[in-house]
Amino acid sequence: MPARTLVRKPKGFARTRKGFPRRWLIRLLVSAAAAYLVCCLGLLYLRWFRPLTTMVQIQRRVEAIASGAKYHKQWKWTPLSRISPNLQHAVIAAEDGRFYQHHGIDWNQVQKVLDQDFENGRPSRGASTIDQQLVKNLFLTTHRWALRKAVEFALLPAAELLLPKQRMLELYLNVIEWGPGVYGAGAAAEYYYHTPAARMGRDQAARLAACIPAPRKRKPARMNEYSQAIQLRMKQQGW
């Protein structure tokens, strides 16, 4: 019977293998902390300056390149003072009625959605605030990956601390999608109505706000019922 050949493991092999998960975890935590710090510095920068781009805009560019589709970006920065109050109010009424009351998360709305989901037996709609949507547009993507909400929640305290509400609204109105390649209120007003954002009428504003949940599919001209509901909410809030 042939003798067995003993294979000796290199010295330190067991120690290296045992320490691998710990080193991997430390590196992961350090990377996460560095990414969080970069995002916070980005929010501090945005307190006074305009964003150069956003992650959602980068995402759309990459998607177009990957699919070989044509992509024409329309983005025009418009100060909040030059955005019609009609559009400001319509967007708040449509997306986040308690924008000026909550501190990043509208727990009342979250509870309503959870109750509705429990009654229906399935997930229905989200309860994302303007704050959350801004963070998503700036630093994340539209993909529904598992940790996205956790990252949003982690960045919200920094966003609330570094950005006044009016600045947050100004950023939001200037970076969100309003159509294929159309970003911001200024570009949307000119694209759909051939008018500056400052001259948006009440009905036009409500129709634009109605497109925000699905900006690449919805068209303002088709948003008859939902735009009426938004105008009713505006009236209920005294706008």
Strand duo 182-183 + 177-179: pairing: antiparallel
Where residue 70 sits, what CATH number does that domain have?
1.10.3810.10
In a domain, 106, yes or no: yes
Look at residue 42 and tell me if it is in a domain.
Answer: no
The mean pLDDT value for 174-186 works out to: 97
Q: Is 223 in a helix, a strand, or coil?
A: coil
Dump pLDDT digits (tens) for 195-209: 999 999 999 999 999
On whether residue 58 sits in a domain, the answer given is yes
With cut-offs at 50, 70 and 90, classify the pLDDT of residue 18. low
Asked if the structure places residue 144 within a domain, the reply is: yes
Residue 2 lies in a domain: no
Whether the full predicted model's pTM is greater than 0.75, yes or no, is: yes
Looking at the chain, the whole-number percentage of residues with pLDDT higher than 90 is: 69
Strand partners, 134: none
pLDDT(210) > 90: yes
Summarize the confidence of residues 16-44 as an average pLDDT: 84
pLDDT at residue 137, as a whole number: 96
Domain that holds residue 130: 52-236
Q: What gap in Å lies between CA 82 and CA 56, rounded to an integer?
A: 24
Report if residue 17 sits inside a domain.
no
How confident is the model at residue 124, as a pLDDT? 45
* Cα angle 163, 166, 216; round to 5: 95
Q: How many domains does the chain have?
A: 1
Residue partners of 21: CB distance under 8 A and separation at least 6 = none
Question: How far apart, in whole angstroms, are the C-alpha atoms of residue 180 and residue 19?
Answer: 49
In the predicted model, is pLDDT for residue 176 greater than 50? yes
Q: Is the pLDDT of residue 2 over 60?
A: no
Evaluate whether residue 210 is within a structural domain: yes
Q: Note whether residue 66 is domain-resident.
A: yes
